[in-house]
Chain A
Amino acid sequence: MLDKNITEIKESFYSDIKSVSSIKDVEDIRIKYFSRNGLVSQLFEELKDVVKEEKPILGKKLNLLRNEVTAYFEEVKDRISSSGLNKENKLDLTLPGSEYIVGSKHILTQTLDEIKSIFKGLGFSVANGPELESDYYNFESLNFPADHPARDMQDTFFVSKDFLLRTHTTPVQIRIMEKQTPPVRAIMPGRVYRNEAVSARSYCMFHQVDGIYVDTDVTFAELKGTLVSFAKQFYGSDLKYRFRPSFFPFTEPSAEMDITCYLCHGKGCKICKNSGWLEILGCGMVDPNVFKFVNYDSERYTGYAFGMGIERIALLKYGITDIRIFFDNDLRFLKQF
């Protein structure tokens, strides 16, 4: 009988102590098992009534039980009552940890990094070019007619008659093609400037990534495939897209690529001006006139080019409503990314 009780009480003890989570629980256990009239003491009472022959064996068993459960009880009691403090030094483990400061790249750099890594995976090199450009690289070699509106003071910052702050990263396309014969496959990130009043929606400088691929047999179909692959990697594989005819002096045919508005999923909202679409980049087949400037044979080689604004992408992606915040460098902003 006692033998059976020992087993039962042991099981009941372990089951009870499992759910202990406060000092009060600990006290309840103590009273239930270890007080004067507790269950363990009662077992010792029962031992008195056991027949003589069985007494030594059961007595030993009972002592083992008492030592085991008492030790375990003490351990649990300790853990509960000193929660957050270690045993020897009584450290307050709940105090905050020491501060380690790891800085961060600007959110525009991070956005560009993502774009770069996708295009590098698609076989593109990465190239740089100067921000202070000549009229020749920024306009003339890109097939802007002499009296194109972009070439006057309204849109471009000039430092002299023939030198200006580049208005796009496209001149780097010319610089690469001058240096190298096809195949040419590269993206060109960089800073560009426009003579536009500073507001929440526009800034006098911003960042772009241009891209170009020239080789034999480069087609519009490949342009579409490559840019769709980019967009799916960047914006998500379930995205819908469309290519719309547009106009740029340096590409023909030209297109703008739209993706379904990520906010309203195409239903129409404020961000997409109720169209359901967001324009993400301009692109097209390199105009044969551009090839003339770099002495490429446009019968032999064809190519595509594209360009996108990094601020716009970051604004959309992070729900930022004022472009100026990128260049305020408020640490409370920088730290968020």
Chain B
Amino acid sequence: MKISLNWIKEFVDLSDISTQNIISKLTMSGLEVEDVIDQTNLYKNFIVGFVKEIEKHPNADKLTICKVFDGKDDLQVICGAANVKAGQKVVFAPIGTEIPNGKFLIKKAKIRGVESYGMICAEDELLLSNDHSGIMVLDEKLDSGKSITEALNLNDVILDIAITPNRPDALSHIGVARDLAALFDRDLKIPKIKLTESEEIIQNLAAVEISDPVNCPRYIAKVVKDVRIKESPKWLKDKLEKIGLRPRNNIVDITNLILHECGQPLHAFDLDKLNNQKIVVKSTKSETTFATLDSKERKLPLNTLMICDGKREVAIAGVMGGENSEITESTKNILIESAYFHPSSIRKTSKALGLSTDASYRFERGTDPNITKYAAERCAQLISELADGKVAKGIIDVYPKVINPKEIELRFSRTTQILGYEVIPEKIKNILSRLGLAIKVLEDDKLLVSIPTFRPDIEREIDLIEEIARINGYDNIPTVSKINITLEQKTDETEVDEKIRQTATALGFYEMINNPLQSEEDAALTGNPIKIQNPLSADMECLRTSLLSGALITISKNIRQGVKDLKLFEIGDSFTKTADGEIESFNDFNEKQNLLFVITGNTTSKTWNSEENKSDFYDLKGLVDSFLSKISLDNVLIDSYYSAANVIYDYYLTKNFKEVVLGSGGKLQNEVLKQFDINQDVYGFEFDLTALKSIESKPKSYKEPLKYPKIIRDFAFVLDKSVKYLDVKEFIKKKSSALLKVISVFDVFESESLGVDKKSLAFTLEYFDENRTLTEDEVERDFNNLIILITKEFNAQLRGK
């Protein structure tokens, strides 16, 4: 919201206070100043110039060579505007001037071969308006060489203030002035009404009826007759232009002035266009269309609050007037509307129509029902002064249920309890009074505070405490240098995640964070997805059902960037629908935390001392096992199951704890990869972290390193290809003596030379005992026995040896 500091100063005397101080106090009291235009500084180099003579530029049709007198010298200046003429007084920017719009510096320049010593300016270049139709032409009587800050009265400071939604009272100059009055401990001066009324009684000229008093608690009408619609005087136009409004005619400009002065939106109707000279406030009972005064036909939903006359709608209440009753040049008699509409009603209408106006913006945040009379009278006064109107006697004020100020008790002790320091009672009383609140002392510790209706945000004691804190300054609240740390139990629900991340990165994986919003096609790949009712776009209309598709999108993007070897992981939530129909409770869907690993490309790349190593299923499997071991789940019995293809994987591994599936993964189907434009193998494994975290891992305990030597034996067998490693291993485990502690495979070999459909498996066996040294004999016996048993069981043949 734009605020003119000169305008503010009509209501509070700040003549001895620097602009910088005003800005900083406003920001530090919650009215954040986001931008400042200090005209005196901005226009300090611009002067009034006199165009003595002009001639066509020899090399450019649209350019003119002007001789401009700057008060001392005649300067040659090139001008591109069509409206430049000899004899004009213009705004002249000499060399060295910074042009506000675009912040560029005027330098001596050669334009199409002719030198130019300055610039003649248009309004938009000065940020005075958006007008770039031609140069600004000034009053001929102005002296050449005079500074324009003086000549055009450009000595204001315009502030752009961000008003938080709880402060509708600050959406006007008087509202901001009231805060400043409190901040600098000064009086607030509000313009007095000086109204001369005619003999004609308003009740004989118009009538008002409210048939929806909930949405329109108060409606005031004032009538002014025999007005002359014309251009507003300069002071009024200047005021509006400075805060970015375009002047229209005296009546509209006056209503705008009052809105920005005291925050009350007004509307002026052409009284003669109102059927039966009557106003009825009611809500629409059917869908209808209505032409607003911006010449647009608008569709009105059911229950839109409307202002009607005796026959038809004439305005959308609180939002915009209608074309059928607007002020035109021929308007003679005027009905001024000054009403209070319920905020949610106006918000609803404004949203439904997609139409926000200065009026609706204020009504939907909450205006003051009790300023309506003042605003109507001030408007009537200004119309009589600036449009020669005759103000009808009296006022129509339909206010079925008067809204009175609330009363709130405030304890000084509570103020201290919340803020952590004592604001002395005298100071508190002063702050509240300056903000326009009436106070009465109840007890030593207690005030009764009456809250005027312009502060709908102050409803409770805590709201008063905020006002005190805000005006006294947050800087005055001490910053403690000591805190109590109570010894309540501390927990960290992200601790396991952290351990997982550490493990994953140590294993060489990089963490991704993918967008959980994805296309239905991608989300449906791994489950029944939840749809967003109001998605940004079709490729973000569902929540992911697993982390897989997000990772595949990432892999695909990286491959396109030429990065083909990837080891990535992600921890994140996935969402699946567990019931049909609308989600009505937390039981209708399942949000769980997942962990995904993906591997693609080479696990080691080719370098001068290593061969490239293409990733495969065993890289994935090994990763999963070392991961489980690193996060201390190696001492819990986790089962592995191996399966052939499903929709996602060609073949895959599943990890279970008892009945609970902890996760699964394998080699992704080419069909799936094609969906993501990937044409290299990808291996992925996804854990259900929620399930994984529910397993209680046994605490680790120390195991003494082995003191006695191991005896190690190797053997290799030729077996049918169909014999599985795990079966042989389990068989060895079952048949061997208790001294055999470790069985591992060290070679797998397939070759024609072994016979058709044969393979060789080579094992290393480690024998040892924690309490003694083994003898060669006892190992040899067991070893030889195993050879015989394996040969028999698997139809195997011992190799070599």
Contact = CB atoms under 8 A, between A and B. Distances in A.
Given A219-B420, A221-B420, A205 B462 contact: no
Interface string A147-159: 1010011000111
Interface in A323-337: 326-332, 334-335
B159 to A, nearest CB: 13
Interface string B473-511: 011011111110110111111110010010011111111
A319 interface: no
A152 to B, nearest CB: 7
Nearest to A224: B479
A159 B483 contact: no
A160 B511 contact: no
Interface string A161-177: 11101000000000000
B84 to A, nearest CB: 35
Interface string B442-463: 0000000000000000001011
A236 interface: no
A243 B492 contact: no
Given A128-B494, A153-B534, A221-B478, A104 B582 contact: no
Contact of A330 (B486, B561, B572): B561
A128 B419 CA distance: 29
B491 A288 contact: no
Given A183-B486, A245-B466, A331-B558, A160 B583 contact: yes
A215 interface: yes
A177 B418 CA distance: 19
A101 interface: yes
Interface string B560-592: 010100111100110100000011101001010
A331 B600 CA distance: 13
Contacts of A105: 501, 505, 511
Nearest to B494: A126
Nearest to B478: A221
B573 A131 contact: yes
A332 B563 contact: yes
Interface in B145-183: 164-167
A131 to B, nearest CB: 5
Contacts, number: 244
Contacts of A134: 586
Q: Looking at B351, B462, B482, B591, which has the most chain A CB atoms within 10 Å of its CB?
A: B462
Given A222-B483, A329-B512, A159 B532 contact: yes
Nearest to A203: B515
A225 B481 contact: yes
Contact of B490 (A123, A152, A196, A288): A123
Interface string A130-154: 1110100000000000010100110
Given A215-B486, A244-B30, A163 B480 contact: no
Nearest to A207: B513
Interface residues of B, number: 95
Interface in A84-131: 95-96, 98-99, 101-106, 108-109, 113, 116, 120, 122-128, 130-131
Contact of A98 (B418, B505, B533, B607): B607
B533 A302 contact: no
Interface string B731-758: 0000000000000000000000000000
A334 B493 contact: no
A197 interface: yes
Contacts of A197: 536
B273 interface: no
A127 B462 contact: no
Given A126-B491, A302-B417, A245 B469 contact: yes
B461 to A, nearest CB: 9
10 contacts: A96-B608, A98-B607, A128-B494, A158-B534, A162-B584, A220-B420, A225-B481, A326-B513, A329-B554, A329-B558
Given A120-B492, A329-B514, 11 more contacts: A96-B608, A102-B506, A103-B567, A108-B513, A157-B532, A159-B533, A159-B583, A163-B589, A224-B474, A253-B466, A334-B510
